[in-house]
Structure 1
């Protein structure tokens, strides 16, 4: 009876750790189809719509390094549960927001909670599944469920807006958060705490740099503050790097990037989210703009993308366990680049959907990419490494929605050609990162 009981606990523990990532990814895209309804109800132009999305992703990206360190110091399960509570509270506040500024603040609170739970859930999976093949399968399921959440967002948003209103897209997070908290407390084993100093300077500088860059990119062409914000973000980013080099116990130990597989996989993660988050926003706006689709129709039309993302991410775990990380990463990024090329010239509904489906094959690369990055650090730094990887990814997501959303509306009419050209180049760069991250002699040196 012991083995089945142990296996059941492992499955429930994995479910508990997948649920938070699912709702985090769901919330990253569920708002895409709701921005028009939110604008009609609360006011604000395209810049306001982008801030409803960017406030979440910026807070998520900015807080994860600190959250990873807190997980190492106080226990990853404790921090994961706390983050899930904050995320649930933020979701409830979003649904009650009376004005656009209040909604942006509540979205920021959601991002703070997501920042706490995401790297800690990944670190706990690494600890729960120490054997490489079992870990690859677990990461495949973790990535698959999360990818389904990412791609289900527009579908769920369209349905909920049609049946209720835009506020319902936030209420739906609350029961998922409650279930994740209950399962985590019951079945997930706490990681042993390790002494780490906090780095408030790194947190402040990193948050200011990312917020200023995202804000400046969103305001390009709309405000005279755009270039000063971009310059301030760049200078603050430089100050962040210099500060981290000098601190004895920095939030971001730059030595972690001395590992070629980890550095290349993290860069690929940044490009992955930059392209995917930005593309999903562009497709949602394009479908509701030039193609004149309702929020409900937009959600339904993205269903094939949802299925593609879920199947690709789930298959990636099996492919990684059998063939290693290189094959699924190259396959996913190459297909995604082809999809972006198809979208460059897309001007009709069938072409947009065909290009979107091919592009969403990028999900094949995600769990494999995560497996490479998380195989690099020693066990005592899994929380930090998870924080770095997910910070890179969410930074890419924040910048992707800002940059590609701005490029989509840069001309007199919405056009996919310029943003999708940037996406195609991004996926080409991700292929190059894959070749660097998965060199056989580097992977052979990784701990097993």
Structure 2
């Protein structure tokens, strides 16, 4: 034996903690981009899809809402799974669902196949959304660091919202509507590779999986969203709609009972006694109801009424959606200087004020002036999303972040489905101009309702930010 044999080679160097944190933030933010891109890119492509696949208005609502239905129904369970199994594992599972489902959607030759693919994508996105936020914030060492991570995650999601119309318009013009689904295949492969090679595991929280809570919550949300989609078309007294209402009511009651009896509940009902959580969740429902309802209405106005091709329609949305990411990025500064309440109020006034300006401008305003008027709404929307998310994360114990953010985003997705379900029938008739004005009036009312809720939250002491 010689001296050389006594010298041990050091193990291969692992990425340092800061590098792992950066990659975790990048991977989580990329997933947020995917999830939110999917909500707006499909809305723009919808008229072309329906013409190609010979679908009607009800089929269009299911193509859009199929994604949000399973996303909403699965979010609470996904948040709990991220806590139990670890965010990294659940995150990779979500990517493994979204990417193949997107490929199926791209190859769909009939409306039912496309709807089924959208349902699967929504389920995968449900796994991605809470786990991506947990990954993105896993490296934060203090409140300020957590706020910055949330802002980056939210800003990247905002870029997804902003890029959806533009990217969709370019892809549809260049390669047809099927190309819009291939974006997720590419992004999913990149995010999975980065996560497998560079992102460390996030510690799981020991808890039991609440099967009863998961089943009853999923049934309640599915019944609610199904009823909202089909009620305007089949009639609210139709047996299928009535059955959906009964499933929703029974699901809510069974969920409450299951959570009271569960040793480790899926969603601790005590969270709703926290003003920061319950109030912010209400804001999320109202905001998404308005945002996605207005996006749906504007897409139909530009393509079906004004006759704009998808590329022009996508470019037309750019002043509105382009400032969403900017709103997300400036929010940490606003929060630090003025507090959460002031930031939320500023965002709500910008968002609602722009919609009100269009409402009072005339029956059917010209496309370009209308979309330029919506520019402040994009800035306001970005501020609202980032401020809401920050307030929510800071209003609950760290151990319940996964469950709380999942419940919050579940409410937001229900709001999204409700916006499309309510606005869709208003815009489907011959009198589009009248339905458009009624839809905008409902949107302004919904935004106005957020103001007293925000003012009430200024008394909440759970948040560590100045009020």
Aligned pairs (5 A) from 1:345-356: 345-346=360-361, 347-348=364-365, 349-356=367-374
Inter-CA distance 431–90: structure 2 relative to 1 (3 Å threshold): same
Preserved CA contact (<8 Å) 2:151 2:329: yes
Partner of 1:56: 67
Match of 1:373 among 382, 385, 392: 392
- Give yes or no for the alignment of 1:341 onto 2:351: no
Distance 1:411 1:334 in 2: 32
Where structure 2 has 5 or more consecutive residues not aligned to the other structure, the ranges are 1-12
- Give yes or no for the alignment of 1:279 onto 2:294: yes
- Give yes or no for the alignment of 1:386 onto 2:405: yes
- Give yes or no for the alignment of 1:246 onto 2:260: yes
Match of 1:84 among 92, 95, 98: 95
Who wins on radius of gyration, i.e. which is larger? 2
Distance 1:189 1:322 in 2: 34
Aligned pairs (5 A) from 1:411-422: 412-414=431-433, 415-422=435-442
Preserved CA contact (<8 Å) 1:275 1:400: yes
Distance 1:246 1:380 in 2: 19
Cα root mean square deviation, aligned: 2.3
Distance 2:180 2:356 in 1: 32
Partner of 1:326: 341
Q: Secondary structure at the match of 2:138?
A: helix
Aligned pairs (5 A) from 1:251-330: 251-330=266-345
Partner of 1:357: 375
Partner of 2:114: 103
My pick for the range that moved more, 83-92 or 412-421, is 412-421
Distance 2:244 2:445 in 1: 22
Q: Secondary structure at the match of 1:34?
A: helix
CA shift digits 1:296-316 (9 cap, x unpaired): 211111111121112111111
Question: What is the TM-score with the length of structure 2 in the denominator?
Answer: 0.89
Where structure 1 has 5 or more consecutive residues not aligned to the other structure, the ranges are none
My pick for the range that moved more, 369-378 or 408-417, is 408-417
Inter-CA distance 413–365: structure 2 relative to 1 (3 Å threshold): closer
CA shift digits 1:37-67 (9 cap, x unpaired): 1111212101101100100001111101111
Distance 1:373 1:65 in 2: 15
Deviation at residue 394 of structure 1 after TM alignment: 1.5
CA shift digits 1:354-388 (9 cap, x unpaired): 34223222211111111111112222222111211
User: How many aligned positions are there?
Assistant: 444
Question: What is the TM-score with the length of structure 1 in the denominator?
Answer: 0.93
Inter-CA distance 196–5: structure 2 relative to 1 (3 Å threshold): closer
My pick for the range that moved more, 109-118 or 336-345, is 336-345
CA shift digits 1:309-359 (9 cap, x unpaired): 121111113322443322221111111110121232352213421342232
Aligned pairs (5 A) from 1:192-271: 192-224=203-235, 225=238, 227-228=241-242, 231-248=245-262, 249-271=264-286
Inter-CA distance 253–413: structure 2 relative to 1 (3 Å threshold): same
Preserved CA contact (<8 Å) 1:28 1:150: yes
My pick for the range that moved more, 394-403 or 68-77, is 394-403
Q: Secondary structure at the match of 1:198?
A: coil
Preserved CA contact (<8 Å) 1:138 1:317: no
Deviation at residue 128 of structure 1 after TM alignment: 1.7
Preserved CA contact (<8 Å) 2:79 2:403: yes
